[in-house]
């Protein structure tokens, strides 16, 4: 029986959600918890011998608890074109259904203490003609972790995303600052501004890396606020 899970969303697409989700999985495993990742919807998937596969979903599978679950349970909707998921699905004659995703998520929940679900794009990205990523997070009923890509405009994007998450009835469990470039103007000042304005704990500041390194990133994650521990470590800064 699962102890819980988290829904990882971001201030935009391409701001490091997958790396942060994989780091979270690694950090949970280091603490002795079983943890599985899920990427319910992925566009831009590549054709392989076993069909369409998402690089993001495969990364999450590699850093979750072994043995890995069936791919289709981790990524129920693998779409080929690297465009908005509802458009990619429409072109392939597919309708993204929350019921299908929930069934796959429940299968994962039976196998791990924690399930880390990574959204697609940002909070309001459409999944079909009616529902968005926000509806998916609400249906899963998981606390939300917001990945903030440190770049120009991140303050507005982060504050608007946090406001939307709360208005949609979800709990913002924490946020992660991700250094997307080796040098970012006013990075520390932006982090300080968000700490003052986001009513949720900073879980870590991810360094800029040329290649994914699960161990280095996991070291930057403070699990204490997520696991309701009394002592909270200060996130390591790069």
Position 229 scores a pLDDT of 62
The CA-based diameter of the chain, rounded to the nearest angstrom, is 50
The beta-carbon contacts of 163-167 under 8 Å, at least 24 apart in sequence, are 164/123, 164/124, 164/134, 165/9, 165/123, 165/134, 165/137
Closest CA to 30 of 206, 220, 175, 235: 220
Q: What is the pTM of this model?
A: 0.93
CATH topology of domain 4-33+98-218: Rossmann fold (3.40.50)
The pLDDT tens digits along the chain (238 residues) read 346 899 999 999 999 999 999 999 999 999 999 999 999 999 999 999 999 999 999 999 999 999 999 999 999 999 999 999 999 999 999 999 999 999 999 999 999 999 999 999 999 999 999 999 999 999 999 999 999 999 888 999 999 999 999 999 999 999 999 998 878 778 899 999 999 999 999 999 999 998 999 999 999 999 999 998 643 444 444 4
Q: Angle of helix 55-63 relative to helix 17-30, nearest 10 degrees?
A: 10
b/e per residue, 36-48, with b = 16+ CB within 10 A? bbbbbbbbbbeee
pLDDT of residue 237: 41
- The helix or strand, by DSSP H or E, that contains position 204, with its residue range, turns out to be strand 202-206
Catalytically annotated residue among 39, 73, 138, 151: 39
Q: Using CA atoms, how far apart are residues 221 and 203, in angstroms rounded to an integer?
A: 6
Given the DSSP bridges, would you call strands 144-150 and 35-38 parallel, antiparallel or unpaired? unpaired
Q: CA–CA separation, 173 vs 145, rounded Å?
A: 6
Residue-range domain boundaries for the chain = 4-33+98-218
Residue 39 is a catalytic residue: yes
pLDDT at 210: 87
Note the pLDDT of residue 3.
63
Q: For residue 32, what pLDDT is reported?
A: 95
Query: Could you give the residue ranges of the DSSP H alpha helices within 31-153?
Result: 55-63, 71-74, 85-91, 98-109, 133-140
């Amino acid at each position: 029986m699962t102890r819980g899970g988290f829904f990882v969303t971001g201030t935009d697409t391409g701001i490091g959600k997958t790396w942060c989700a994989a780091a979270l999985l690694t950090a949970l495993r280091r603490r002795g918890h079983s943890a599985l990742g899920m990427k319910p919807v992925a566009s831009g998937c590549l054709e392989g011998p076993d069909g369409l596969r998402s690089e993001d979903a495969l990364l999450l599978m590699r850093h979750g608890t072994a043995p890995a679950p069936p791919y289709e349970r981790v990524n129920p909707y693998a779409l080929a074109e690297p465009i908005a998921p509802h458009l990619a699905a429409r072109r392939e004659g597919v309708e993204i259904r929350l019921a299908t995703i929930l069934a796959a998520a429940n299968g994962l929940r039976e196998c791990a203490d924690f399930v880390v679900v990574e959204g697609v794009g940002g909070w309001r990205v459409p999944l079909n003609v009616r529902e968005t990523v926000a509806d998916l997070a609400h249906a899963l009923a998981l606390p939300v972790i917001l990945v903030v890509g440190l770049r120009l405009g991140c303050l507005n994007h982060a504050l608007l995303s946090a406001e939307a998450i709360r208005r949609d009835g979800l709990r913002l469990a924490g946020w992660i600052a991700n250094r997307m470039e080796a040098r970012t103007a006013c990075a520390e000042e932006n982090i300080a501004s968000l700490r003052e304005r986001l009513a949720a704990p900073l879980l870590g500041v991810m360094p800029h890396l040329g290649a994914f390194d699960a161990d280095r990133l996991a070291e930057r994650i403070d699990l204490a606020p997520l696991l309701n521990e009394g002592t909270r470590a200060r996130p390591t800064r790069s």
